[in-house]
Structure 1
């Protein structure tokens, strides 16, 4: 699993690859942390858990990253060291194959106190140019954040 920060006009983008969809979500979230602070301390901060559900993979990624920004603002921490599990429920709600079900994420992050890092504010995640796709044997994502 890996990520790289990409310059994007006045914004910042994270480009990530991973072997699994769960690892990809964690890599993008780690990229968000890297975009938010010059460096993240290796220790300190308490882990917290969260769950997110959405109708599609892209919406799940968007909602997860948006939730991390919310948690940062409410808890006054920089979410770091992300662990994710992403699954698609096979319950199509009885509507047939046209409705594949819901995507769910369970995750945890280490909340590094904001006063322990030199953080810059990431205002929001955007759908602008968002990509989430399978490329050969790995998953790929590109996400732009408004700074």
Structure 2
């Protein structure tokens, strides 16, 4: 289980599988980092973030969008993702996550502009969870 980068016309896609919803969120985020950078140094400090949305798919979109925002605001490449996803039971989903922020000055990063809803898939299978997400580059 993990992620693979997939070519997608002028964009890039990440396909991820995980035993749990938490794992697949983390693997998609790791795929986003891999789409931005080939080699990731060991430096950088961890930071936390919390995202809320009305359903699982919107939560995945908003989580990835928040990581791109954090990259731009903090000037870091978010890597080594950990995510905890839960259904709050009141029509809202929450993702409490953390990442290690590698300074952009320490990497040769490609620009990923945005996450898209184009062809986005988040589904449970007999083996766990599968996600497919396209990013605008």
Structure-1-length-normalised TM-score: 0.92
Question: 3-state DSSP class of the match of 1:59?
Answer: helix
Unaligned runs of 5+ in 2: none
Unaligned runs of 5+ in 1: 92-100
CA RMSD in angstroms comes to 0.6
CA distance in 2 between counterparts of 1:90 and 1:141 reads 22
Task: Find runs of 4+ consecutive structure 1 residues off by over 3 angstroms.
Answer: none
1:52 partnered with 2:42: no
Q: In the alignment, which residue of structure 2 is the partner of 1:10?
A: 10
Q: In the alignment, which residue of structure 1 is the partner of 2:19?
A: 19
Which one of 114, 124, 129 corresponds to residue 119 of structure 2? Answer: 129
Q: In the alignment, which residue of structure 2 is the partner of 1:139?
A: 129
Deviation string, structure 1 residues 43-84 (Cα, Å, up to 9, x no partner) = 110100000000000000000000000000000000000000
Q: In the alignment, which residue of structure 1 is the partner of 2:82?
A: 83
Q: In the alignment, which residue of structure 1 is the partner of 2:31?
A: 31
Shift of 1:137: 2.3
Shift of 1:90: 1.7
* Paired positions, count: 137
Q: Which has the larger radius of gyration?
A: 1
CA distance in 2 between counterparts of 1:6 and 1:88 reads 29
Structure-2-length-normalised TM-score: 0.98
Question: 3-state DSSP class of the match of 1:64?
Answer: helix
Shift of 1:6: 0.1
Q: In the alignment, which residue of structure 1 is the partner of 2:69?
A: 70
